Amino acid sequence: METDLAGGIVPSALTENLDPHRVNMHGTNTYEPRCKSLVGEVGKAAHCGIYEVRPSPCHDLQPAWEYGEPSPQCDKARIKHGMQPLTLDMWEPLQRR
């Protein structure tokens, strides 16, 4: 485990037990998932409130176009929240802000 209780850095207070060996972030294992560490309004301005100590699955998820490639997981999440998948044409102007 990656939580502070097991010597890791992820705050255990922000996790819940998934099974005897694994935890997940509070709010992510529900029908309408929303991590309780997510700050802001999805689709407007949102960010991870524990970015520096986020768990490994969050490190593994590549945001679309951040490294020049699309992200199927990112697209899936955007569609679930009523947004279009991020295209490169949408991404580039966001980087100039």
- Residues at the contact surface with ligand SF4, assessed by CB under 6 A: 25, 28, 35, 37-38, 48, 50, 54, 58
For residue 70, the minimal CB distance to ligand SF4 (Å) is: 19
For residue 79, the minimal CB distance to ligand SF4 (Å) is: 17
Closest C-alpha among 70, 75, 87, 82 to residue 42: 82
Closer to ligand SF4 at the Cβ: 52 or 89? Answer: 52
Closer to ligand SF4 at the Cβ: 54 or 65? Answer: 54
For residue 61, the minimal CB distance to ligand SF4 (Å) is: 7
Closer to ligand SF4 at the Cβ: 1 or 48? Answer: 48
Closer to ligand SF4 at the Cβ: 36 or 70? Answer: 36
CB contact at 8 A, 35 and 28: yes
Long-range contacts of 4-11, Cβ-Cβ distance < 8 Å, separation of 24 or more: 9/53, 10/50, 10/53, 10/54, 10/55, 11/50, 11/53
| Structure tokens belonging to residue 50 | 């524990």
The type of residue at 38 is L
